Each structure stands twice: as structure tokens, then as C-alpha cells.
Chains A and B, each alone.
Chain A
Amino acid sequence: MESQVVLGGFGGQGIILAGFILGQASAIYDHQSATFTQDYGPEARGGACRAQVVISDGTISYPYVQNPTAMAVMSQEAFTKYTPELARVKNPILIIDEDLVKPANYTAKYYKIAATRIAREMGRPNIANIVMLGFLIGVTGVASAESVKQSIRDAVPKGTEELNMRAFEQGYSQGIEAIKAN
């Protein structure tokens, strides 16, 4: 059983950190094999970036996503650039940040969450990545929520753990709701 997850957005949104957290949750706490790779440009902020996480109960020789089973995008550019890859897969799961992405011409089913808006309302726009990660876990179950929460605690700056836990829970509960409504 193998899951191939893509997170896309622009530099500064925490896409890479979210990918790392998911990979770490799977490899260390869920005891799966998990590779995390990243694409980014030389810019510190603003360039397109992508995190790829492959999770498997076997060994992973090819550490890149070929057939994404789930994809979360947080910028229009990422949507345009990466969603065509979903055509290769049966019933892929697409998730968008609904305030940042207009899914023009995308006819298949998708899930949406206002991750950035929710984060802003919580007082810290830069936790939008964790809101999105929570939603992704709620919708897909690619890693266990407990493992992801432990991984978040390991990875985020000291003093922000509780804020990040709340951000995760916000996204996660909306993800569970979205699945129920489906």
C-alpha cells in the first residue's frame, strides 16, 4: 500500500515544513517508510514550491510522486502547475485553499478549506500550513492524527506548540466533516 501526497504553494507558506511533518509522522510515529522531497527555487519567499511525500508499508526505491493519490494546493500557480498530474490517477483527492485557488476547468470532485483565512482569524496567518495539513489528514487519513500531532510538536518553534495544535484540530475537524458530508 503506497500513498503519494503532493503539497503545493509558494515559498513562505510553510509548504515544505508541512511536508516534512507528514513524512516524519509516517516514518517515526506510524512506523511506515516515508520519503519527503522538495522542489524550490533560489528565492527565499514567493517562488513556486512543492513538497512530495511518499508513504509505504514496504520499501521505497523511487522517492518521488509519480501518481499523486492526494494533493493540496495553496496557490493558483501550484494549481495550474501540478493538478494536471491528477489525471493519471483514479479518484485522486484534490484539496484547495478556497480563497487562494480558483479551480477553473477542474471537473472532478475536490475539497476546499479557507486555511489561510482561518489561520488569520486565529491571529497567525503563518499557521495556514498546519490548518491545511489537519484538513488533509481528516480527509485522507494518510497518517494518523496522533502521529501528525506529535510530529508537529517536534517540528515547530518552541512556544508555538499549542497554537499549532489548535490549528491542526481546526483543519482536522473540518476534514472529518467534509468526508461525512460527502
Chain B
Amino acid sequence: MSNNGHLSGSFYFNGDIACAEGAISAGCRFFAGYPITPATEIAERMSERLPEIGGVYIQMEDELASMAAILGAAWGGKKSMTSTSGPGFSLMMENLGLGYMTETPCVVVNVQRAGPSTGLPTLVAQADMMQARWGAHGCYSAIALCPSSPQEMYDYTIKAFNLSEKYRVPVLLMADEAVGHMSEKVTITPPEKLKLVTRRKPTVSPDKFNPYQPDADLVPPMANAGEGYGFHVTGLTHDERGYPVMTPQAQEKLVRRLVDKIDKNRDDIIEVEEWDTDDAEVVVVSYGISARIVRYAVELARKEGIKAGMLKLITVWPFAESTIKRLAPRLKSFIVVEINAGQIVLEVERCAAGQTKTVLLPGMGGAVHHPDVILEAIRKAAK
């Protein structure tokens, strides 16, 4: 182990452990959580690692408290994280909303399993994708990332922290059981090569500080508790000073900004990968573990001479509208592969806006798609 708690070199990690190590590399030093399959290994790893490196791990009484604790830690100046799966994610929604309203940087990991309710604890699904976008009540814009391998669990956990610090927003790492429990080689980024973002601090003196006065990018600088800056944190609609103001005008101003600070920076936030889309007639859209299966199926289709390509959504939220709009006019069809009854397909269909067909390959959970099913759909769509 090198300085500051970073490992160095390559390891054979499952996705959950890679996620925990990504958090540590990103500078996370507070974790509060409640164990749940298939996310338990994240909490377990953090419970071993954080005390070694001057961090704090707390096993909370439940997921409501876990979410509340990481918000508090963020206000105390720490980079903080929690991890869970479907049932716990549902419990976190109320305080996640508080995180959006109070613009609190933190990372929430959901290693998705099949639901609803307790469902299939040990088996895969990708059915919380709309919950990630709309699960808390009220208006807001969310950021959600989907890793496809243990290496991406490491890399995108770091990215999740960077986005949360930059935009002062809870960021969701929407993993799935297959990626969380799969082991593969993970290379740790050396500390000197890490590009880390840390929340912007106020530049004005404490008497002139307004905790919700945004800069030009719509993000307000953030003072930590105990640094001499006064602030007020509330879930009520508030003005730049943080004081509750119960008017539609204050609501318009604040909530518009909460939406815009993500949506107007979408080009900076969104990351996708395209393979063979240049000449493609059929593009298969997917994310998380499904993207790996799709990649394999697209390779098989190319071997048959079919002009198939693939779009992998790394940021599922905000949605990559411009990519879909650019591809749609020249395709015979999009195919969307996701382990749910049809969620992200609705976004693809909306952005394709009738310019091409959109075919859904759903899955109710418990297993990834068989590559032959995807290959057959590509063949059919290419005809």
C-alpha cells in the first residue's frame, strides 16, 4: 500500500470491492451503510479499509439513517458514500431528495438486484433506472452512472465523486449484481495520476457569504461546517442565504437552478461509448452488464456481415439525447437491451422521435440476456 491509503498495482477484485477502492482513491473518508446483498462487499471493504486510513465507517440502523449520515458528513467537509440494493434504495429516497434540495455532494451506490420488494436477492436486474431519475419527489435533475466491469466500478466511482463535488449534487452509481459480483483484473490509478475534483470553497469573507449564491456555472461554492462561515441547511424552499421562503418565485428560482445546473452542463457530464456506429444500420443501446453481452452479440453480427453498432451509456442520467438524435435518422432500428420491462427504451424512443424504429429486448431479472437473443434481434432489425 502506498501513501494516503491508495493501493498500487493490479488486483483481482469483484466489482463491489473495486467500487470501495475507487471511493478510497477519490478521497472518500466517510461511509455509512447497512449491508444488503449484492452490495454487502462494498460496506465490508469500507469497514476494513477506512479505519486504517483515518476514515470513518458506521454501520447504521437502516438505509434512511445511512443516507442522512452521509449528507451530514458532506456538510462536515468529508467526501461520503453509502451503498445498497433495491429495497434499501427505496428507503433512501426521502433523504436523497434532501440531498438534491440542499445541494449536498455525496455518492450513492445501488447494486441492482431483481425486485420489486425483496425479489431475487442474489440475482441481477437493471430495473431501478427510472427510480434513479424520479425516485425522490419534486423536480430535480439527477446524475447516474452505469459501470460494465470491475475496472469501471473503480473508475466510475471516482468519476461519481468528481461529478458530485463539481456540481454539488448526490451522484448515483447504478451498478448491477452481475458487475458487482464479477471478478476481473482491476488496475488502481496511481495517486499522482488521479484527477480529483474537490468542492469549490467560498472566496468571500464570512460576513459576505451566501451559501446558495451560485457562480456562473449555477453551482454555489460550499463552506464546510466549522470553517467560520454561517449557513442554514433546510429541505424547505430557500433563498441565497438559505432561509426558507414560501413563494412560487423563490421556488422558480431555486428549483429551476437545481434542474439547470445539471441540464445546462450535460455536455460536460455525459459520457458514452460508441462502437462501429459510423456505418451501422442497427445500433444496440445498453448499459451496465448488458453492454458487455451486447458487445459480444454485435461482434457476432459483424462476422455475419450485418452492419451493427453499439451505444453504451455510461451516464444514463442525464440522458444522451444528442447522440440518439444524431444516430436516429440513418438507422433502420435501435435495439434497447435492458434487464427490466422497458425503462431507458422510453428515452431512446422519445429522442428518436419517430425517425427510426426502437425495439425493446426486456428481461424481468434474474439473468442477463443470452447473446443469441440479441443476435437474432439484430438480424431481424437489419432486414
Binding site for B on A (CB under 8 A): 20, 23-24, 27-28, 33-38, 40-42, 61-64, 66, 151
Contact = CB atoms under 8 A, between A and B. Distances in A.
B21 to A, nearest CB: 15
A62 B122 CA distance: 20
A42 B292 contact: no
Nearest to A32: B185
Name the prevailing secondary structure of the B interface residues: mixed
Given A23-B184, A62-B293, A62-B371, 15 more contacts: A28-B10, A28-B185, A34-B12, A35-B182, A35-B184, A36-B12, A36-B182, A37-B178, A37-B183, A38-B181, A40-B122, A61-B292, A61-B295, A61-B296, A62-B292
Contacts of B296: 61-62
A163 to B, nearest CB: 22
Interface of B: 10-12, 37, 121-122, 178, 181-185, 292-293, 295-296, 299, 368, 371
13 contacts: A28-B10, A28-B11, A33-B184, A34-B12, A35-B183, A36-B184, A41-B122, A42-B121, A61-B292, A61-B299, A62-B295, A62-B296, A63-B292
Contacts of A41: 122
Given A61-B296, A62-B292, A62-B371, A28 B182 contact: no
Contact of B185 (A20, A34, A42): A34
B181 A37 contact: yes
Contacts of B293: 61-62
Nearest to A35: B184
Given A20-B183, A35-B182, A36-B183, A27 B292 contact: no
Name the prevailing secondary structure of the A interface residues: mixed
Contacts of B299: 61
Nearest to B181: A38
B115 to A, nearest CB: 14
A42 B122 contact: yes
B185 A37 contact: no
A181 B146 CA distance: 50
Contacts of B368: 64
A40 B183 CA distance: 15
Nearest to B120: A42
Nearest to A51: B183
Nearest to B299: A61
A108 B361 CA distance: 38
Nearest to A40: B122
Nearest to A27: B185
A26 B122 CA distance: 26
A27 B184 contact: yes
A66 to B, nearest CB: 8
Q: Which 5 residue pairs spanning A and B have beta carbons closest together?
A: A24-B12, A62-B296, A36-B183, A61-B296, A61-B295
B121 to A, nearest CB: 5
Contacts of A61: 292-293, 295-296, 299
A42 B37 contact: yes
Contacts of A64: 368
Contacts of B181: 37-38
Q: By CB atoms of chain B within 10 A, which of A33, A34, A63, A64 has the most?
A: A63
Nearest to A24: B12
B24 to A, nearest CB: 20
B248 to A, nearest CB: 49
A129 B1 CA distance: 30
A61 B121 CA distance: 25
A61 B178 CA distance: 13
